[in-house]
Each structure stands twice: as structure tokens, then as C-alpha cells.
């Protein structure tokens, strides 16, 4: 299920260069204009031009910015548009396993201008194939009614009434689906060619949230590497409707043995180093008071280079977390550790085991104990390449990542030793078989791409993850449900990851049918 190339006709997107500056160029060559719903409409579809002064308008897919989007701007959430707050229409014009699509906010690309009206606040999107994210069959020639930032009605076009005076947008020939919900990412550390805790600032985190949103990720969980107060301030601002980007949830600081935890040395100080059961419980209490979404633990010795969180410690952590109503997600590498973690009551895995294929007993235990699993195979798949893989040249990626960053990624692939790639390939094949077993057994799979790790690109990695899930045996509808409603459910969000009445109006418009390819 490969990512298709960008349709050249008018599907140009901004180069979101990871530089230290925040410079903006309107891809259309002119500022967009705002309609009465606060949605910025692109004037024309043109290739990016030279850098201009910062523009106050962010258009959703076409009239966007060449370099970093201004802080607080979002293609999907309640951004400040020309000095006033836009309503809660969150429309992302980017791809899921298909061609990059123009957003409905871009009249020149959508195939027709919305029919103007001043009598109603509702917007009606007519004629698209609609995938609601729940796994139920798609609706052909659907009608999606949005009012006050939420889904007011959805169904076949001939069965759903269009509110009198509503603005109508024709999406015939396109596909609409919910924005993605990614339960495993990391924000704030990468900036340009640097990857460091010094980059963990509000400005940089907001930039990353905007990148996620531009790729159609509506919700991101930063899983265990968030020290300081920047994340809590951002969450407050998003809840207040004054800050856009993908909605941020977090596990705060994860728990590991001292000087262990994250693979990247730059991230290790962000984890709590736990030396006793009492200390583990205290840290969980602190996290609960901060309002985290999950508790993250690392049970991995990184090939013998660090200490691994012992069972007596993680049992105390899991027990304390459950007492506060929090699920515990474990980073795990070894099969034996996964078995012990399931027995200890862990709620989810941030990775598949990687030392060997999951046996039937572990798969059965995962299903029986309702443990959810993020396959997270995309980050492991990278290791099997000794030359730049074809997806690195995907136009949407080359047009949204700085050339220097792509050049570094290219060099990383090209310099990988053949024996290392062979080991990675064998491990990856084991992971594919494990994923197929889990899926066949009915295990709960959710989306977690580990994006934000160096050169594992924000937003793009989620689409790559779904592509690899389908290669491993999921059908496209299952993959979409995994990345939308099922992930939202595990986060406790009943208004996200689906296009059903009452849900938030976070959705993606595609030029192709992801159920076909």
C-alpha cells in the first residue's frame, strides 16, 4: 500500500525547513483570503517561491508557508487567523496512503468554490466517499454536516438533510476520513540538524505540533520525554482554544533505571531514574498530579549497555498508576520481559518485541489481558536499508523537510554496514510475523510511530507505519481504524478519531481511495 506521489497539478505543499528561524512564504505567491467561517482560502496553486517576510495567514494545504510555520499556527485547530479566532473547523489536506489532496479550504484545488450563504453557520461537504474511522463500511456519495466545530450529521447524501442556508462544498470524487491519532511520538528535541534537550522549548514544541497537523495527525502523545513545564502550558492553551497544531497529550517524564530509558543520550535526562519501589510510587503520584495521559516505563537494557527496570520496580509502578486510573505503557525489547510485564498488569506496549518472534502463548496472554500494542515497525524497518529507500524521495517529504536533514538521512542509509542491515532485516521479518499473529488473534492494535526520533519525521512516519501494517497483513480499513478511533479510545477520547455525530471536525480530504491502495 505505497504512498503515492504528489499530484503535480495543484497539490504543492510548503517546505517546513527545520531551521532556527521562522520565515514564511505563501506557496500561492499571494496571501490567502479568509471566508466567513474563518477558513483561509488559497488564491492559486503555484510552486513555492523565494522567501518572503513572515505572513500572518496560514492556508491549509496550498497557500501555506515555505519554511517553519509561525508559532501557534495550525492547519487544523483553532488558529488565530488575521487577528481573530477561527471556528473549530480542522481540515487537513494531506495524504493517508494516497495522493496528497487539496483541502476543501482551497477552492482552486477542490474543484469548485463553496456556495456562499450568510444564513447558517453550518458547512456541508457533499459527494465524497466517507470513511468514518470506526471500521464500518465507507459511505459513497456522503454528506458531512459540520456546525460549531463538530459533526452535526453524516450519512448518504440523499438521506441527510442540508441545513437551510448552509455553505456547501462539493467533494465529489474525493475521500474524507478522520485525522490520525498517534499514541507514540516525541516533541521538542529536534531542531534543524541538532537533537538536544536544549531545543525543548515552547516555540520548538509548537513548531512540531504544527508539523504533525500539516500531515493530518490530529492528536499526538509525547511518550515519556517531556520534562519542564512547556507541555503543560501548551495543553492549557490548546484547551482554551488559543493555540493550534495537533492536540498534545503526554506521559510527562517516563520511568527507567538511572541513566537509562530512551535510546538517544539527549533524551535520557528527561526520564526519572528509579532505584526503589517507594521512589517509583512517588514519581507516579507526581505524574498523576500533573495530569498526564499515560505512565511510560522502559524495560530494556539497550544490548547490555544500561540497567533494565526490574520486575519488583515496575510492578510497584504499575500498581500505583492503576490506583490513579492511569494506564502504563512499556517500551520493551525482549520476549521474556514482555511475558513478565503482561503478568504484572501492564496496559500497553510501545513496540513489538524484537529479539524473536512472539510465540502463541504471549499472543494469547496479550489478547486475554486486553493489552494494546503499538507495532511501531516503521522505525525498525529503516535499519534494513543500505541505500536511501524510495520513500525518502516522496515529494511530500522532500517538500516539507529541509534538504540538509534529508541529506543526513540519506548518508545514514548509505553508510550502514551490510551485516548490520542483514540483522535488522531478520529482526524486522520476525516483527512482521508477530504483527500478523496479533492481528489474527484479535489483539488491540493502535498507532504509535515513535516520530520525533532523529530523522523519523513528524507526521510522515505515521503514514509509513500504516503502509507497513498493511504489508504485514492488515486490510486498509483495519489500518485506518487502528490509526483513528481505536487509538482515540485508548486515550479516552470519544470525540476524536471518528466522523460520527458529536465528534470533533478533525478530518482529512484525499484525492484517492485509501481502501483501494
Task: Determine the average pLDDT of the residues in 494-500.
Answer: 97
Mean pLDDT computed over every residue of the chain: 81
Cell numbers given for 483: 490509526
Count, in order, helices (H) and strands (E) of the chain.
Answer: 14, 24
Q: Does residue 343 lie in a domain region?
A: yes
333 within 8 A of 354, measured Cβ to Cβ = yes
Cα dihedral 430, 413, 205, 147 in deg (nearest 10): -70
Q: Does residue 322 lie in a domain region?
A: yes
Q: Does residue 466 lie in a domain region?
A: no
Task: Determine the average pLDDT of the residues in 383-400.
Answer: 93
Sign of CA dihedral 155, 160, 164, 167: positive
pLDDT at res. 267: 83
pLDDT at res. 194: 92
pLDDT at res. 118: 52
pLDDT at res. 119: 64
What range defines the domain where residue 318 resides?
Answer: 256-291+293-349
Q: State pLDDT tens for residues 320-332.
A: 999 999 999 999 9
Q: Which long-range contacts (CB under 8 A, 24 or more apart) does 261-268 make?
A: 261/224, 261/298, 261/306, 261/331, 262/224, 262/225, 262/298, 263/302, 263/453, 264/189, 264/195, 264/453, 264/454, 266/189, 266/195, 266/196, 266/197, 267/186, 267/189, 267/197, 267/225
Q: State pLDDT tens for residues 129-163.
A: 999 999 999 999 999 999 999 999 999 999 999 99
pLDDT at res. 271: 93
pLDDT at res. 211: 94
246 within 8 A of 220, measured Cβ to Cβ = yes
476 within 8 A of 468, measured Cβ to Cβ = no
Q: State pLDDT tens for residues 412-433.
A: 999 999 999 999 999 999 999 9
CA–CA dist 293, 114 (Å, integer): 39
**Three-class SS state of 480:** helix
CATH of the domain at 273: 3.40.50.10910
Q: Does residue 305 lie in a domain region?
A: yes
Q: Does residue 139 lie in a domain region?
A: no
Query: Would you say residue 109 has pLDDT above 60?
Result: no
Query: Distance from first CA to last CA of the chain, Å, rounded?
Result: 5
Q: Does residue 339 lie in a domain region?
A: yes
- Per-residue DSSP letters for 46-68? ----S-BS--S---SSSS-BSSP
122 within 8 A of 136, measured Cβ to Cβ = no
Total residues belonging to the chain: 517
pLDDT at res. 365: 99
pTM recorded for the entire structure? 0.82
CA–CA dist 350, 362 (Å, integer): 16
Q: 118-127, 306-315, 452-461 — which is least confidently predicted?
A: 118-127
CA–CA dist 67, 370 (Å, integer): 43
Q: Does residue 275 lie in a domain region?
A: yes
Query: Would you say residue 305 has pLDDT above 90?
Result: yes
Q: State pLDDT tens for residues 214-268.
A: 999 999 999 999 988 899 999 999 999 999 999 999 999 999 999 998 888 878 8
pLDDT at res. 481: 98
pLDDT at res. 517: 73
Cell numbers given for 332: 520493551
Q: Name the percent of the chain lying above pLDDT 70.
A: 77
Split into its structural domains, the chain has a count of 1
Q: Name the percent of the chain lying above pLDDT 90.
A: 71
Sign of CA dihedral 305, 306, 312, 316: negative
Q: Does residue 336 lie in a domain region?
A: yes
Q: State pLDDT tens for residues 48-73.
A: 222 222 222 222 222 222 233 333 33
- Residue 69 gets which letter from DSSP? P
Environment class of 241 (CB within 10 Å of its CB; exposed 0-12, middle 13-18, buried 19+):
middle
If one compares 62 and 123, the residue with the highest pLDDT of the two is: 123
187 within 8 A of 223, measured Cβ to Cβ = no
Amino acid at each position: 500500500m505505497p504512498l503515492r506521489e504528489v499530484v503535480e497539478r495543484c497539490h504543492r505543499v510548503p517546505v517546513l525547513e527545520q531551521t532556527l528561524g521562522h520565515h514564511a512564504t505563501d506557496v500561492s505567491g499571494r496571501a490567502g483570503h479568509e471566508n466567513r467561517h474563518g477558513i483561509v482560502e488559497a488564491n492559486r496553486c503555484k510552486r513555492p517561491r523565494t522567501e518572503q517576510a513572515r505572513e500572518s495567514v496560514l492556508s491549509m494545504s496550498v497557500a501555506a508557508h515555505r519554511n517553519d510555520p509561525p508559532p501557534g499556527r495550525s492547519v487544523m485547530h483553532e488558529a488565530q487567523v488575521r487577528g481573530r479566532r477561527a471556528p473549530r473547523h480542522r481540515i487537513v489536506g494531506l495524504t493517508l496512503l494516497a495522493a496528497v489532496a487539496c483541502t476543501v479550504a482551497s477552492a482552486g484545488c477542490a474543484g469548485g468554490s463553496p456556495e456562499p450563504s450568510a444564513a447558517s453557520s453550518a458547512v456541508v461537504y457533499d459527494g465524497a466517499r466517507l470513511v468514518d474511522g470506526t471500521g464500518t463500511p465507507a459511505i459513497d456519495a456522503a454528506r458531512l454536516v459540520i456546525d460549531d466545530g463538530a459533526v452535526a450529521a453524516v450519512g448518504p447524501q440523499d438521506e441527510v438533510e442540508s441545513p437551510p442556508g448552509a455553505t456547501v462544498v462539493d467533494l465529489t470524487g474525493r475521500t474524507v476520513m478522520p485525522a490520525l491519532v498517534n499514541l507514540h511520538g516525541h516533541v521538542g528535541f529536534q531542531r534543524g540538524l541538532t537533537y538536544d534537550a536544549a531545543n525543548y522549548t515552547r516555540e520548538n514544541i509548537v513548531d512540531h505540533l504544527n508539523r504533525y497537523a500539516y500531515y493530518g495527525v490530529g492528536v499526538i502523545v509525547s511518550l515519556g520525554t517531556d520534562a519542564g513545564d512547556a507541555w503543560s502550558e501548551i495543553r492549557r492553551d490548546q484547551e482554551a482554544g488559543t493555540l493550534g497544531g495537533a492536540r498534545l497529550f503526554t506521559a510527562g517524564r517516563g520511568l527507567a533505571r538511572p541513566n537509562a530509558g530512551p535510546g538517544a543520550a539527549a533524551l535520557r535526562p528527561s526520564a526519572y531514574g528509579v532505584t526503589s519501589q517507594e521512589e517509583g510510587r512517588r514519581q507516579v503520584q507526581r505524574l498523576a498530579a500533573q495530569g498526564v495521559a499515560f505512565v511510560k516505563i522502559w524495560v530494556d537494557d539497550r544490548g547490555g549497555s544500561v540497567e533494565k527496570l526490574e520486575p519488583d520496580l515496575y510492578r510497584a509502578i504499575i500498581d500505583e498508576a492503576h490506583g490513579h486510573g492511569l494506564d502504563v505503557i512499556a517500551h520493551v525489547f525482549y520476549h521474556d520481559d514482555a511475558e513478565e510485564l503482561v503478568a504484572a498488569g501492564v496496559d500497553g506496549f510501545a513496540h513489538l518485541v524484537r529479539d524473536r518472534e512472539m510465540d502463541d502463548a504471549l499472543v494469547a496472554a496479550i489478547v486475554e489481558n486486553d493489552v494494546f500494542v503499538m507495532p511501531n515497525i516503521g522505525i525498525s524497518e529503516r535499519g534494513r536499508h543500505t541505500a536511501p529507500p524510495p520513500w525518502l524521495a516522496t515529494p511530500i517529504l522532500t517538500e516539507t523537510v529541509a534538504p540538509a536533514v534529508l541529506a543526513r538521512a540519506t548518508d545514514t542509509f548509505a553508510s550502514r554496514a551490510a551485516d548490520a542491515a542483514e540483522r535488522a532485516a531478520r529482526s524486522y521479518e520476525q516483527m512482521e510475523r508477530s504483527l500478523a499473529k496479533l492481528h489474527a488473534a484479535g489483539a488491540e492494535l493502535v498507532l504509535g510511530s515513535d516520530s520525533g526520533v532523529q530523522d523519523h519525521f513528524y507526521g510522515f512516519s505515521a503514514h509509513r507505519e500504516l503502509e507497513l501494517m498493511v504489508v504485514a497483513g492488515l486490510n486498509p480499513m483495519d489500518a485506518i481504524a487502528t490509526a483513528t478511533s481505536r487509538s482515540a479510545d485508548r486515550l479516552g477520547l470519544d470525540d476524536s478519531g471518528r466522523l460520527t455525530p458529536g465528534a470533533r471536525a478533525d478530518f482529512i480530504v484525499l484525492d484517492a481511495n485509501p481502501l483501494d491502495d
